[in-house]
Amino acid sequence: ACINAFFLCVSLFRLKDLEVAKLGDSDVHVKMLAAPINPADINMIQGTYAILPPLPAVGGNEGVGEVLEVGRHVAALKPGDWVIPADAGLGTWRTRGVFPEKVLLKVPSDIPVLCAATLSINPCTAFRMLTDFETLAPGDSVIQNAANSGVGQAVIQIAKASGIKTINVVRDRPDLPKLVERLMALGADHVVTEEMLRKPEMKDIFKSIPKPRLALNCVGGKSTTEMLRHLQPKGTMVTYGGMAKQPVMVPVGSFIFRDVRLRGFWMTQWRKDHAQDQESLTSMMDALCQLMRTGQLRAPACTEVPLQDYGAALEAAMKPFTSSKQILLL
């Protein structure tokens, strides 16, 4: 049998027919259902990501598939189960694949397919950053930039479900009112532009909610500096992306007089560090899937694209001010 796979070669992309690998005793034959195009996927293609597969390679780090067949030594999975990658680099932009059981995680099939396809990176990143750096209680607040990103949307919803207030920073754009309306509908408490961070009106926000103890940075550059002004003394800023491709700039006074803490986060590293800690992984996945079941955590705004139209999807994913994630239907 042949499959379609979106291959990454040194200087071009192409859709190629491949033979399905023979099923080994510990292998799982998976029919892929849907897979997103994430910024990390683009970075891998550009050769700028921290982990790069040997070329040629199948693209895609995230997605959901249905188990078709399992090897005789596979105990935890059966045909009909839904699975997602246990780690980055699986190569999800394909119609089918044969993978070792250990590189797959079972997920419930009673959550929406787009939620499952986008579960393993952005919601997990949001969950860990809200959990691991500061002990937040209902009524506390968090400030984040790139609030319309996949992680940003997940932060808003997970925080809302926990009673935590969010101050959400976005870049100014032509359709700003529409974006503000969409983020507020997700549960955002405040949505401001990067320019508004510098204005005296920010003080009005903190009349009704406390200053944040946690800031989440996906941009870098001036956006970081302006967010730090509103962080509580001894607060923590976690950097998990660098969309502006500029360094994190921190005034000396923020360190000396306010003792702010700067940390970094990478979901791939968290998975490596917790490879022997199944309980932490299981409890996180259970919590996220339960939020999805109850409608408290929805997939990010998505545009569904057939695999054959991968070129248009890639082009759309790289456009500025993109608020809709491209999802390849496989």
pLDDT at residue 12 is higher than 70: no
Residue 280 counted as domain residue:
no
**64 domain-assigned:** yes
Q: Which residue has the higher pLDDT, 261 or 52?
A: 261
User: Does residue 45 fall inside a structural domain?
Assistant: yes
| Window from 29-43, 46-60, 114-128, 188-202 with minimum mean pLDDT | 46-60
Domain assignment present for residue 287? The answer is no
Distance CA 206, CA 303 (A): 36
One domain, residues 198 and 162: yes
**Are residue 56 and residue 38 in the same domain, yes or no?**
yes
Length of the chain (residues) = 330
pLDDT of residue 69: 98
Q: Which domain holds residue 153?
A: 122-268
Query: Residue 41 pLDDT more than 50?
Result: yes
| Residue 10 banded pLDDT, cuts 50, 70, 90 | very low
51, 187: one domain: no
Mean pLDDT across the stretch 75-99? 95
Question: Does 29 score more than 90 pLDDT?
Answer: yes
- What is the Cα–Cα distance from 293 to 4, expressed in whole angstroms? 32
Tell whether the model's pLDDT for residue 1 goes beyond 60.
no
Shared domain check, 109 and 32? yes
Residue 130 and residue 203 in one domain: yes
Q: Is the pLDDT of residue 6 over 80?
A: no
Specify the DSSP element, H or E, that contains 13.
Answer: strand 13-19
pLDDT of residue 9: 46
Q: State yes or no: pLDDT of 309 exceeds 60.
A: yes
| pLDDT above 80 for 320 | no
Q: Is the pLDDT of residue 195 over 60?
A: yes
Per-residue pLDDT reduced to its tens digit, 298-307: 999 899 999 9
Q: For the segment 205-216, what is each residue's pLDDT rounded down to a tens digit?
A: 999 999 999 999
Query: How many domains does one find in the chain?
Result: 2
Q: Are residues 146 and 114 in the same domain?
A: no
Choose between 231 and 14: higher pLDDT. Answer: 231
- Of 2-11, 29-38, 65-74, the poorest mean pLDDT is in 2-11
pLDDT of 318 reads 85
Same domain, 254 and 132: yes
In-domain check, residue 104 = yes
Say yes or no to pLDDT of 285 above 50.
yes
Q: Are strands 82-85 and 190-193 parallel, antiparallel or unpaired?
A: unpaired
Q: Are residues 215 and 189 in the same domain?
A: yes
> Which helix (H) or strand (E) segment is 108 a member of?
none
pLDDT above 70: residue 120: yes
> Which strand ranges, in their side-by-side order, compose the sheet holding 165-170?
190-193, 165-170, 141-144, 214-217, 236-239, 261-264
Give catalytic residue positions. 49
Asked, for residue 25, whether it belongs to a domain, the answer is yes
Q: Model-level pTM?
A: 0.92
Task: Give CA angle at 55 (23, 26), nearest 5°.
Answer: 20
Would you say residue 279 lies in a domain? no
Least trusted range by pLDDT, from 83-87, 115-119, 309-313, 320-324? 320-324
User: What is the pLDDT, as a whole number, of residue 254?
Assistant: 93
In a shared domain, residues 128 and 231: yes
Task: Based on the fold, state whether residues 196 and 62 are members of the same structural domain.
Answer: no
Q: Does 3 reside within a domain? A: no
CATH number of the domain to which 42 belongs: 3.90.180.10
Q: Using N-to-C axis directions, what is the helix angle for 122-132 and 278-293, rounded to 10°?
A: 110
Q: Are residues 148 and 204 in the same domain?
A: yes
Could you tell me where the DSSP H helices lie in the chain? 39-46, 113-117, 122-132, 150-161, 176-186, 202-205, 222-228, 252-256, 267-273, 278-293, 310-317
pLDDT at 184: 98
Residues 130 and 85 reside in one and the same domain? no
Identify which has the larger pLDDT, 280 or 318: 280
